[in-house]
Amino acid sequence: MRYSTILGIESSCDDTAVSVWKQGKILANITAGQQVHEQYGGVVPELASRAHQSHIVPVTDAALKAAGISIGEVDAIAFTLGPGLMGSLLVGINMAKGLAMALNKPMVGVDHLQAHVAALYIQTPAPAFPMLTLLVSGGHTQLVLVRSHMDMEVVGGTIDDAAGEAFDKAAKLMRLGYPGGPQIDMLAETGNPQAFRFPEARVPGLNMSFSGIKTSLLYLLRDEIGKNPEFLEQRLPDLCASYRHAVVHYLLAKTTEAIRIHKPSAIGLVGGVSANSLLRKSFWELGKKQGIPALIPDFEYCTDNAAMIATAGHYLLEAGITHGSDVLPFSRHSAV
Ligand code: KG4
Ligand code: ZN
């Protein structure tokens, strides 16, 4: 092992997160969310970068304290290079640069999506490869064929909205807060998943589309609220359960097709939407049915976190990859 203690920094969207990785173990994984966006129903980039600015130092201190180490014990720094919001990424990158310079230690920039996949290695350091991973977050929905720890290829994905976006936009239509995924998930627990039917988009191969499902919810609400102004309040759990069922069923159908084509030795589920209780349960069952292990990280490693950044950083650093102080963030392009 080249570096035994790695500090991970994540700041790509609206969570400021810092972790301490030591010899394959996560000693600390601290995340500060940003309530400031709730009133706007979505992340406001300028407010996000300002909140990162005020959180980054206290969160770093908290992570070091929780890990019981001093900053001088850090051997390398891993940080999110992109994709994400430019201003937000810059806060994490500049923190990493400052620390690397002050400590005279190496740093490595990590692709946020590769890091979501690396979350699988926190609890399963040596999964069976090839592993087919369903990456479902607020900004991305991809099927990734993972051949070795950091060798991966996108074999399918959404052509429009991400699965998380489908939940967030639906929540907005149902006048729930942001982010909507957890609220729909919770309300769905007491609803009937067969109460309403939402059509699944027909997209060839392993690609997917989620923009239609949200539009069909929009039309359903418009028509039904026109007839009965109390419709939304009366049927909220049924709407959430049916919508969640439709999104999860679609994701599983595409994953099943990808398993048929690529014949993986394991399947993995990562990204913020993997916190969804129905998706987690159905994914376990899919693995069982297919006779291959289904890996799903613990909840704290599913949504944006810095433990996955430090873990991905470890594999890159082991491969001899480091970045100089001239490294720049990227907002869209993904190295995956
Ligand atoms: O990976 P993540 O934390 O951030 C991004 O990189 O996007 O994912 C956030 C997304 C949001 O769209 C949120 O609504 C969704 O994950 N999410 C959920 C659940 N928890 C978070 N979606 C459905 N069910 C959940 N329980
Ligand atoms: Zn993410």
Q: What is the rounded distance in angstroms from the CA atom of residue 127 to the CA atom of residue 295?
A: 8
> Which CA distances in Å does 119 have to 144, 160, 313?
14, 25, 11
Looking at residue 334, its pLDDT comes to 52
C-alpha of residue 181 to centroid of ligand 1, in Å: 6
Of residues 303, 32, 46, 29, the one with CA closest to residue 181: 303
pLDDT digits (tens, 9 = 90+) for 12-21: 988 899 999 9
Q: What is the mean pLDDT of residues 180-197?
A: 97
Q: What is the rounded distance in angstroms from the CA atom of residue 26 to the CA atom of residue 4?
A: 12
Of the listed ranges 58-67, 100-109, 324-333, the least confidently predicted one is: 324-333
pLDDT digits (tens, 9 = 90+) for 222-274: 999 999 999 999 999 999 999 999 999 999 999 999 999 999 999 999 999 99
Is 303 near ligand 1, meaning CB less than 6 Å away? yes
Q: What is the rounded distance in angstroms from the CA atom of residue 85 to the CA atom of residue 331?
A: 6
Confidence check: pLDDT of 109 > 60: yes
Looking at residue 48, its pLDDT comes to 80
Mean pLDDT across the chain, nearest whole number? 94
Of the listed ranges 37-46, 70-79, 136-145, 302-311, the least confidently predicted one is: 37-46
| End-to-end Cα, the chain, rounded Å | 24
Is 83 near ligand 1, meaning CB less than 6 Å away? no
Looking at residue 118, its pLDDT comes to 97
Contact 248, 136 (CB under 8 A): no
By CB atoms closer than 10 A (0-12, 13-18, 19+), residue 148 is exposed
Contact 284, 310 (CB under 8 A): no
For a mutational test of ligand 1's pocket, the pick from 137, 249, 269, i.e. the residue with the most ligand atoms closer than 8 A to its C-beta, is: 137
Looking at residue 336, its pLDDT comes to 44
Confidence check: pLDDT of 132 > 90: yes
Looking at residue 333, its pLDDT comes to 60
SS3 assignment, position 76: strand
Query: What's this model's pTM, rounded to 2 decimal places?
Result: 0.93
Confidence check: pLDDT of 113 > 70: yes
Give percent of the chain with pLDDT exceeding 70: 99
Is 264 near ligand 1, meaning CB less than 6 Å away? no
270's CB contacts (< 8 A; 6+ apart) are 116, 117, 119, 120, 133, 134, 135, 136, 296, 297, 302
Is 275 near ligand 1, meaning CB less than 6 Å away? yes
